[in-house]
Structure 1
């Protein structure tokens, strides 16, 4: 391709500052793809024409084989498995346990990129794809809190991180997914095109300025591997209903066991009652909101599923040893104080409870 100079002479087009290739898994998450590309196309053009000038992006694969997203919308590749000129290769994951995520050609493409030292990015469950390919050894791997236990059970030799939005470890970047994909895109745009281009994309998308990779995910994960499948299901239900807490009777009914049996099994597995575990989840969610948003303490209390601010503040202070309002005022000192408060002897936590809480 050529561009025409003002005096009429033709000259070769400049290479884009950032070119990204995308590999889509079967049942990939459409949001992860679209939000990443939207940030790129907004940064690519100094105006508002979405022209791929400073950034370019390609969906790799066979053009006659559209890839189906988890929501049922198919996306057709625009480029074969050609890695030429790519600055990054992004693997967009999606639903787990729905058959093979990638075919042989796509898997070979990933390994070829690794051999050519093209940085690999796994977004959403793309981290699982990279780990299954043996490409995450001795590297930090960011996963969503939602799939934390799945990752631990499948890859016992790897250490997942579910407290951050994304992690860059040498030539691998992994992202938990969701809105964090936009932050990752802004991070790369700023690196290659400058801060102004990243800010432009975020402003047009009406997203707060790019959060750093170390920003916490909502909500923080709790606990390690749980052997009892019923308890795992109960924990997942609790994690999905932080703002509108489920009654223990309702959870037990969904597990097809009595409330008494549910409470007994949960206590034996985790070392604490399901009510207490649920409250810990909601309080940690409240802590995350206090540290990462500008909501009032009352709004945070309601969002964390508490009836009123007083109820939330009392339990928050009992657990963390600090008032919610102090978290806002002393953000730089919050983490050390909370770490000390977790193990106060008067909290009555046993070793098992601390393990699942941390």
Structure 2
């Protein structure tokens, strides 16, 4: 069944949404409401400059992770009707979050060069379908390890809010969906349309793709985005330790600048902070699993249980084995 825009004329921006089972309602709502408010003046909700549809292989209600259900408004029509196809994911423990017809539709959209966007864990669905090759994927820090484990050959990062190029997009979910949608509105409609949407949504400014996810490893509070980004990268690489040079490169600074930045903002060297993050992860593993100490040592970047035990005792004043015994009581 073909759909027609609600208002006369051809909207400049047309977005088709694909909702996974147990999708994240907040991410979908933030994205679609940014389009709605950008499409008309004030908040009249007319589909003048943008149009959107929820696409599905059936018209059955799709339940979100919070229990609210949304009904598809269109069948899988010709993907070329849309400027973007946006896949909104949700809970990762759901088996087959979308059906085979949906995967076939996404592959057809790719073949027709329609840009595909994964919101929240929608990027997992695109990656599973083989549609994220040669593209850097942005995921939430919460889902970084799961993505890396499931798709080891793909490039993934969890320090930025979103990634968007001419053919692919991905974002961490939550409010970052509005930031990405705002950029799309600005590019496809106008800055005025973007401003209208953000003002009605009570968003002071749209964050950019260079903004860092709001995550504070070790409860370190700082206002430097370069430092925030490096801390997140450290946290996500406690097993496969990254060199200081690569950490510096990830934030666009030199190694000397990196060391100066840590001393000025935290009062410690990058190596000291990195080790603290590794020890914090080791302590969590001791309390949350019954894994052998050698396995925990390897998981936090040590080659031997002996070396791990010495550093752990120096950090916490007792051996890993002793701490595990105390935690068990």
- How do 1:287-326 residues align onto structure 2 when only pairs under 5 Å count? 287=222, 290-291=223-224
Cα RMSD of the aligned pairs, angstroms, is: 3.1
CA distance in 1, matches of 2:134, 2:263: 31
Residues 1:44 and 1:339: Cα distance change in structure 2 (over 3 Å): farther
Uncovered stretches (5+) of structure 2, i.e. residues with no partner:
226-251, 280-329
Is 2:75 aligned against 1:80? yes
Displacement after TM superposition at 1:2 (Å): 10
Aligned to 1:240: none
Q: Residue 36 of structure 1: which of 31, 51, 68 is its match?
A: 31
Q: Residue 219 of structure 2: which of 282, 297, 303 is its match?
A: 282
- How do 1:49-60 residues align onto structure 2 when only pairs under 5 Å count? 49-60=44-55
Aligned to 1:94: 90
CA distance in 2, matches of 1:70, 1:216: 25
**Could you say what secondary structure the match of 2:17 adopts?**
strand
**Could you say what secondary structure the match of 2:16 adopts?**
strand
Aligned to 2:66: 71
Uncovered stretches (5+) of structure 1, i.e. residues with no partner:
4-11, 221-279, 293-331
CA distance in 1, matches of 2:41, 2:207: 23
Displacement after TM superposition at 1:201 (Å): 0.3
Residues 60, 81 of structure 1: 8 Å contact kept: yes
- How do 1:252-291 residues align onto structure 2 when only pairs under 5 Å count? 281-283=218-220, 286-287=221-222, 290-291=223-224
Residues 63, 76 of structure 1: 8 Å contact kept: no
Q: Residue 112 of structure 1: which of 108, 112, 116 is its match?
A: 108
- How do 1:8-19 residues align onto structure 2 when only pairs under 5 Å count? 13-19=8-14
Aligned to 2:118: 122
Displacement after TM superposition at 1:354 (Å): 8.2
Residues 259, 270 of structure 2: 8 Å contact kept: no
Aligned to 1:272: none
Aligned to 2:301: none
Aligned to 2:148: 152
Q: TM-score, normalised by structure 2?
A: 0.68
CA distance in 2, matches of 1:32, 1:157: 27
Q: Residue 22 of structure 1: which of 17, 20, 25 is its match?
A: 17
CA distance in 2, matches of 1:351, 1:182: 33
**Could you say what secondary structure the match of 1:163 adopts?**
coil
Aligned to 2:173: 177
Q: TM-score, normalised by structure 1?
A: 0.63
Aligned to 2:188: 192
Aligned to 1:317: none
Residues 1:99 and 1:48: Cα distance change in structure 2 (over 3 Å): same
**Could you say what secondary structure the match of 1:33 adopts?**
helix
Aligned to 1:353: 275
Residues 343, 349 of structure 1: 8 Å contact kept: no
Displacement after TM superposition at 1:142 (Å): 0.3
Q: Please list every run of at least 4 consecutive aligned residues from structure 1 whose deviation after the TM superposition is greater than 3 angstroms.
A: 332-344, 346-352, 354-357
Residues 140, 169 of structure 1: 8 Å contact kept: no
CA distance in 2, matches of 1:191, 1:335: 36
**Could you say what secondary structure the match of 2:81 adopts?**
coil
